[in-house]
Amino acid sequence: SSEVLEAIENVIQDVLKSLAQKKAPVLTLANRSDWRNIEFKDSVGLQMMPHCTTKQIRSDCPRSAPKFALMLKILSMIYKMVQSNTYATKRDIYYSDTLLFGSQSVVDNIINDISCMLKIPRRSLHILSTTKGFVAGNLSYTEEDGTKVNCTCGATVFTVPSNVQGIKNLISHAKFMLIVEKDATFQRLLDDDFCNKLSPCIMITGRGIPDLNTRLLVRKLWDSFKIPIFTLMDADPHGVEIMCVYKYGSVSMSFEAHHLTVPSIKWLGLLPSDLERLNIRKDILIPFTKQDQNKLASIQKRPYIACQPMWKKELEIMAASKLKAEIQVLTSLSSDYLSRVYLPNKLQFGGWL
């Protein structure tokens, strides 16, 4: 915490120095959204380069002055929280002055900018993100406040903890971990008792694009148990994008890649080639939209696809067919095909990439 306080004091000191010299203060931070500042490293995923282009938030420019003011406001809130050892969620910060901030996304963006500017992970700034992910299966742990959580009992679902760094005493006999893209598929597998049927496993869903806590938990479980991690996604560009976020990280959070990515994650399904192999009827597949085509084209150009020839092939199959499929298409074969046939066969015979 002294490191956080010192980093904030240095920023404020620079602001005061500029004012004393009758200069307009500026805040300088790495340009997070620029692919040119990102390098791909096999062992980490997408990470920010040490020497990258920066952008300035100026106090004397009408376009950036409001952002400059809001950054100082949130810096002062973080400073107080670190001093008093209290925590707040991003929502708490927004609701402390909705008129001032205008929208939740403004707050979220500024917090990521501050984290990047100070080079300090967000959780060390005493800001918790609200969690939307779920975890179930063969896992128990103790939360920071001493609450014991046992996910192992039956079809119980637990929300991913809001302070993943604080959990301890992690125990699991799981043989693998399954990341499921969607809540509906996750619930279906739970109802079918998938976590215990084949061999004990841990199931996690970020319910779409994963939030920070879900990604932190996947990474923590990987560090703790070093068990294989598989993903179960829709066979569409959006599903592939989500899987890449878990495996390689995202451009906007590349400055935190070391805590968030798990490059050993495997793509278990639904593979575009599975649709042909299983003779899924063409009439129940969904035609690509223009947006799907653009998203797929952009994924195919990314640096990590070049080192994944099998993935490249699957994306080419998808691009050629211009058709996408949700995991639910497997119910056209039989209502429990996913948990009874598809997943057991894949896991047993190594049907992942």
By annotation, the residues acting in catalysis are: 95
339, two tokens: 């948990």
Which runs of consecutive H residues, i.e. helices, occur in 142-236?
Answer: 183-191, 194-197, 212-225
Instruction: Tell me how far CA of residue 151 lies from CA of 158, 174, 232, in angstroms.
Output: 7, 12, 20
43, two tokens: 């062992």
DSSP H/E element including 127: strand 127-128
Rg of the chain in Å (alpha carbons): 22
133, two tokens: 């992910």
Looking from the CA of 38 toward its CB, the CA atoms found within 13 Å total 24
Q: Position 74: which residue type?
A: I
State residue 261 phi and psi, 5-degree precision.
-100, 155
β-pair type (323-324, 54-58): unpaired
